[in-house]
Chains A and B, each alone.
Chain A
Amino acid sequence: AQSVSQHNHHVILSEAASLELGCNYSYGGTVNLFWYVQYPGQHLQLLLKYFSGDPLVKGIKGFEAEFIKSKFSFNLRKPSVQWSDTAEYFCAVNAFGNEKLTFGTGTRLTIIP
């Protein structure tokens, strides 16, 4: 079974700072990787996804993530955060041919104006 680790539980940044949230997964086969964002009191929204091809994927709202297969990592980045990026961020994975998502424990991001 696959598992996902997000080592940063709570990150606090000032506006305009650069962001990188770590995500590592454990699975021996082919995986699909996702980052979801959950704004306070709202549902999960897909930020970006990686299925295959270019390991650097760009998502909505200026976010990007890089898949490094050798490190089993899929870190989320944004060069300049905004106050509106305050939210919970979940990394998720599913195995090729099995759609159920396994989520990491999430990273709470707080942006200080």
Chain B
Amino acid sequence: AAGVIQSPRHLIKEKRETATLKCYPIPRHDTVYWYQQGPGQDPQFLISFYEKMQSDKGSIPDRFSAQQFSDYHSELNMSSLELGDSALYFCASSSQISSYEQYFGPGTRLTVT
């Protein structure tokens, strides 16, 4: 079965640079969630989208923005990167029918140097 796809899988950036992470949900899933998992920490919810509209917002810094496109893929844009942004960024998707079950992608490991 198709899973959530994230790209790139690994990304190395320098401080103050920008990064764009992409997420392709499972086909026919209309909701996308972004989570950040720091080293040795639990995943923290950042933001979610339903039908291309932001549906909820968590602890996402103002330097970050995200959107969901007409094909339901989502992009997380991160600017003025800081060392503390180094983390694993997970995307998850769900469908409205089973909206409480989220399927996670493999994550993008961002390293800021």
Contacts and interface: CB of A to CB of B under 8 A. Distances in A.
Interface in A31-85: 32, 36, 42-46, 49, 51
Contact of A100 (B41, B58, B106, B107): B58
Contacts, number: 51
Interface residues on B, range: 20 to 34
Nearest to B91: A43
A105 B33 contact: no
Contacts of B45: 100-102
Interface of A: 32, 36, 42-46, 49, 51, 90, 94, 98-106
Interface of B: 31, 33, 35, 41-45, 48, 55-56, 58, 90, 92, 94, 99-107
| Those 5 A-B pairs whose CB atoms lie nearest each other, nearest first | A103-B42, A44-B104, A100-B45, A43-B106, A32-B100
